[in-house]
Amino acid sequence: MDIIFLHDFKAKTLIGIYPWERIVPQTIRIDLEIALPTSRACQSDNIADALDYALIVEKINEILATHHFSLLEALAEHIAQTVLTEFQSPWIKVSVAKLGIIRGVKKLGVRIERTSNAISDIRSHMSVVKS
């Protein structure tokens, strides 16, 4: 399996459960490891056969600008599902951390791993929860 990675991506966003977190942007750090749908790019040396890092970063910036998440877990899940579906990745690992939010703690966060097979499982679970 071929994996691309994006480490130490930092951005400011509104995230959290406390009232102040809905108005004060916080710095978060995102790390991604994304499995390539195929290994063709290794032989072809053509971006059409690879995942475009810039498009992935653009999509994450769009998510951060247009959504408010209460939990890091929900943000990580949203990023994972977006990459799995929009970029046809078979597997992803997403880490999201808040930086310097608690005195004495450099960062705190969550790490999740998802596969494209899990998408239908999650969607069916979400429809059951909504009912």
Positions marked active-site: 98
Give the Cα separation of 69 and 76 in Å (integer): 10
Give the Cα separation of 131 and 126 in Å (integer): 9
Task: Kindly report, residue by residue over 19-74, the tens digit of the pLDDT.
Answer: 999 999 999 999 999 999 888 888 888 888 888 999 999 999 999 999 999 999 99
- Output the pTM of the full model: 0.85
All domains of the chain in start order, with CATH: 3-130 (3.30.1130.10)
What percent of the chain shows pLDDT beyond 70?
89
Task: Kindly report, residue by residue over 63-108, the tens digit of the pLDDT.
Answer: 999 999 999 999 999 999 999 999 999 999 999 999 988 899 999 9
Contacts of 43 (CB under 8 A, 6+ apart): none
Give the Cα separation of 57 and 24 in Å (integer): 22
pLDDT-derived band of residue 118, with 50, 70 and 90 as boundaries? low
